[in-house]
Amino acid sequence: MSEPLKADGPLLEAKGLWKSFRRAESTVDVLRGVDFRLESGSTASITGRSGSGKSTLLNILGGLDMPSSGQVLAEGRPLATDDRVARERWRARGVGFVFQFHFLLPDFTALENLLVPVRSLGPVAAADRQRALTFLDHMGLADRGHHLPGELSGGEQQRVAVARAFMNRPRVVLADEPFGNLDDEIGARLGDLLFALHRQENVGLVLVTHDQSLAARADCRWRLEDGLLVAAEGVRA
Ligand SMILES: Nc1ncnc2c1ncn2[C@@H]1O[C@H](COP(=O)(O)OP(=O)(O)OP(=O)(O)O)[C@@H](O)[C@H]1O
Ligand SMILES: [Mg+2]
């Protein structure tokens, strides 16, 4: 893990991504040649109807899944099917994930949950604890660090999950309907916090959302339609 991540060129690029799911009876072509590009520190939103392939695409961009064909370049390096090391490195160091369901560890406090991604890379340093405490404070959760997830509200749990995604100083945060389960007002407030952290940490952000006003805040707006990414109206990039 000593090799630094490259900083020049696009942060994340996908070329001609194709993803087919084979079932006994049929094959579903979910992605049919998706091209995507995210510059360092910039933001993109992806909307699209349920089942259009948004999560599939995000998982491939984050190295959690592999395309049937096509290529993902993370900081210029291909995440090749046969290169598990490259994918795991990208997943662990390059990417922070926020999912619709928080996936916090139920027996760990909020603070401990924030330290999980750090612990996966090595011993936790005092600076890491301090960073976690700062994030909790930033999220308005300074007095909730010792609460278990079950002792937090849904919005508070998602705030911890958002902060966790930034803990490892990733190059990009991939957020998949992070506020889909929350009411609109709380979702909008969490959107503010997410965009604020993206700016503060200078981290790229790819946000899958059905919330058009949240999507509109991204530098680039995309819609996934018939297996292709098309520019959504109001693109500012
Ligand atoms: N492992 C799998 N095996 C077979 N089909 C799958 C698999 N994963 C996803 N699919 C199918 O691929 C399509 C896209 O799924 P995906 O979860 O990417 O959609 P989505 O756009 O994220 O939807 P939603 O907005 O409901 O989250 C769906 O039709 C789904 O049934
Ligand atoms: Mg989805």
Instruction: Give the C-alpha separation, 74 to 66, whole Å.
Output: 13
- pLDDT of 3 > 60? The answer is no
Question: Is the beta carbon of 140 within 6 A of some atom in ligand 1?
Answer: no
The Å distance, Cα 20 to ligand 1 centre, comes to 10
> What is the model's pLDDT at position 7?
53
Question: Is the beta carbon of 98 within 6 A of some atom in ligand 1?
Answer: no
Question: Is the beta carbon of 56 within 6 A of some atom in ligand 1?
Answer: yes
135-172 burial: b if 16+ Cβ within 10 Å, else e: bbebbebeebbebebeebeebbbbbbbbbbbbbbebbb
**pLDDT above 90 as % of the chain:** 79
The Å distance, Cα 57 to ligand 1 centre, comes to 10
Q: Whose CA is nearest to atom 30 of ligand 1?
A: 51
Question: Is the beta carbon of 168 within 6 A of some atom in ligand 1?
Answer: no
Ligand nearest to the CA of 52: 1
> What is the model's pLDDT at position 80?
80
What strand order describes the sheet that includes 220-225? 95-98, 172-176, 204-208, 43-47, 220-225, 228-231
Q: Which protein residues have a CB closer than 5 Å to ligand 2 (ion)?
A: 55
Model confidence band, residue 6 (pLDDT cutoffs 50, 70, 90): low
The Å distance, Cα 150 to ligand 2 centre, comes to 24
CATH code, residues 41-65+90-231: 3.40.50.300
Ligand nearest to the CA of 64: 1
The Å distance, Cα 61 to ligand 2 centre, comes to 14
Give residue-wise pLDDT tens across range 72-126: 999 999 988 778 888 888 998 999 999 988 899 999 999 999 999 999 889 999 9
> What is the model's pLDDT at position 237?
43
Parse the chain into domains and list their residue ranges: 41-65+90-231
The Å distance, Cα 64 to ligand 1 centre, comes to 14
Ligand nearest to the CA of 49: 1
- pLDDT of 2 > 70? The answer is no
The Å distance, Cα 8 to ligand 2 centre, comes to 31
Half-sphere CA count of 141, side-chain side, radius 13 A: 32
Q: Which atom of ligand 1 is nearest to the CA of 53?
A: 18
- Which of the pair, 42 or 235, is modelled with greater confidence? 42
Give residue-wise pLDDT tens across range 180-216: 888 888 888 899 999 999 999 999 999 999 999 999 9
Instruction: Give the C-alpha separation, 25 to 10, whole Å.
Output: 39
Is the pTM of the predicted complex or chain greater than 0.75?
A: yes
Instruction: Give the C-alpha separation, 57 to 65, whole Å.
Output: 9
What strand order describes the sheet that includes 77-78? 27-38, 12-22, 69-74, 77-78
Q: Which atom of ligand 1 is nearest to the CA of 177?
A: 27
What integer is the mean pLDDT of 6-34?
A: 90
Instruction: Give the C-alpha separation, 220 to 203, whole Å.
Output: 15
